[in-house]
Amino acid sequence: MKRIVDITICFVFLLSPLSHFSQSNNQKETITKYFRHLRYNHVSPHVPLKGIHEISKETASKTSHYVFKYANSNKLVEIVNYNYHGKRHHPLATIGAHKIVFNYTDHDVTRIFLDINGNRMTNDRAVYKEVYKFDKKKFIYALDFYDLEDKPMESNWNITKYKWTKTKNMVIEHRYNLKDKLVDISPYFEFGITGIVYRKDGSPKINYNLNEKLEIRENSVGVASYRDTYDNNGNHITYSYHNKKGELTLNPWGYAVAKQEFDEFGYHTMRLQYDENNKLIKKFKYPNIRKISVASPASVEDTLAIKEMSLGYLIALQKLKPELMKRVFHKELAKRTIGYDRDNKKQIIRETSYDQMVSFAESWNQSGTKFPPKPSNNIKILDIYDHIATVKLFSDNWVEYLHLTKTNGQWQIINLLWQDKNSSRYAD
């Protein structure tokens, strides 16, 4: 226990995310700032929202970003989300909506979430409204979730409220569901009562798992804390998992330490995972999401495979080859054509499933009368791009447009739109 106390004794407590806000709702002066990213957070909603990698308005107009709007120079009143890069983020490190609007009183701040049309929506915690409560010293001591009717609701982590208290060294967090029962930090990580140690800049340093006496304890896999390090730009560069003694230990996903590398703009370039002995066990290289790498021209092998699969569909019908039909069609096949509803006297779309196509290959042309003795099967590849392709088939019977996809090294038809070759059959 003494070792843990030594680690945290130098901690200087950050009052709260509201410590620099005035209580006035007067918004005479508005300041707008632009950031490429939000500071990463996988600890608690008590951790302040913070933009990192500040950029100019001009730069923001050309890249993914967040807009922070302040009233009276220091009160955050709105965040607009223009972060359109698709990388997955932790739910505590995202907005999950197009916009957050902040409304203040003398004792709380409300966050509501809006879509691109200005309508209410849920955030990534699947709640419609968050109300943070703070005391006279601006310490945030509670967070409650509400639905559209302002009734208490549970998040997708089964939490309806957070309660925080402060000790000399840390902020203590309890979470409750609608039945007022204690809830773990998340459904996938077993920490009950937790203790958060902050740095001076408001970033989380250590998150401890505590018992009811607020003593550090290990969970069922031996983890008692996890710890985070950020660089001077706010990038989340390491996180690690520790036992009660402060020693490295494996988390439920099989690693003890993760180290992350970033480019000059704050985008991930690499993640390295290590075991409890600091031995490298996994390495992930992230694709560059700022620069698009255009696919190379299709190979001869891909072109031949696309032709084979496209023609294989007709051959399977003509020559009664169900195994070939299974091979050329993806099981998520969407096959459609134009039909006619005689009762309602209008054209409709008719669908045929993967299983139906396999069945047709078994018996549809048993008589040999569905096609000419020497069928004419013509194919034209319209486009190939990396793992997708578009093909036109022009046979004795039909004109068809095919979409193919390459999954696990195999090209297959996944979409098919067709009509009868005889256009006079379609009376408008």
The full set of domains in the chain, from first to last, is 2-285 (no CATH), 300-425 (3.10.450.50)
The predicted model scores a pTM of 0.76
Tell me the C-alpha distance between 46 and 182, whole Å: 17
The answer to whether 295 and 386 have CB atoms below 8 angstroms apart is yes
Task: Give how far Cα 26 sits from Cα of 77, 110, 138, 311, Å.
Answer: 11, 16, 18, 70
410-420 and 329-341 strand pairing: parallel
Cα 227 from chain centroid (whole Å):
23
Assign 322 to helix, strand or coil: helix
- What are the backbone dihedrals phi and psi of residue 101, each rounded to the nearest 5 degrees, phi first? -115, 130
Model pLDDT, residue 28: 59
Tell me the C-alpha distance between 225 and 239, whole Å: 10
Answer left, alpha or beta for residue 372, where phi above 0 means left and psi between -120 and 50 means alpha. beta
Assign 92 to helix, strand or coil: helix
Model pLDDT, residue 52: 97
Assign 217 to helix, strand or coil: coil
Tell me the C-alpha distance between 426 and 350, whole Å: 14
Sequential DSSP letters for 249-315: ---TTS-SEEEEEE-TTS-EEEEEEE-TT--EEEEEE---SSS--PPPPPPHHHHHHHHHHHHHHHH
Block residue for tokens 């009717």: 149
Q: Copy the structure tokens of residue 421.
A: 């070759």
Model pLDDT, residue 288: 82
Tell me the C-alpha distance between 13 and 261, whole Å: 29
Model pLDDT, residue 11: 33
The answer to whether 306 and 404 have CB atoms below 8 angstroms apart is yes
HEC readout, 122-177: CCCCCCCEEEEEECCCCCEEEEEEECCCCCECCCCCCCCEEEEEECCCCEEEEEEC
Model pLDDT, residue 6: 33
Q: What beta strand segments (E) does 135-293 contain? A: 140-146, 161-166, 171-176, 193-198, 204-210, 225-230, 236-242, 257-262, 268-274, 280-285
- What are the backbone dihedrals phi and psi of residue 266, each rounded to the nearest 5 degrees, phi first? 90, 15
Beta-carbon contacts of residue 148 (< 8 Å; ≥ 6 apart): 120, 128
End-to-end Cα, the chain, rounded Å: 82
Q: Copy the structure tokens of residue 29.
A: 């002066």
Task: Give how far Cα 340 sits from Cα of 213, 329, 354, 418, Å.
Answer: 73, 26, 22, 14
Tell me the C-alpha distance between 105 and 131, whole Å: 11
Model pLDDT, residue 183: 97
Block residue for tokens 């009562």: 193
What residues does 388 pair with on adjacent strands? 385, 405
Residues of the chain predicted below pLDDT 70: 1-28, 73, 86-87, 427-428
Model pLDDT, residue 428: 63
Average pLDDT over the chain reads: 91
Tell me the C-alpha distance between 223 and 221, whole Å: 6
DSSP code for 425: G
171-176 and 161-166 strand pairing: antiparallel
Tell me the C-alpha distance between 37 and 116, whole Å: 19
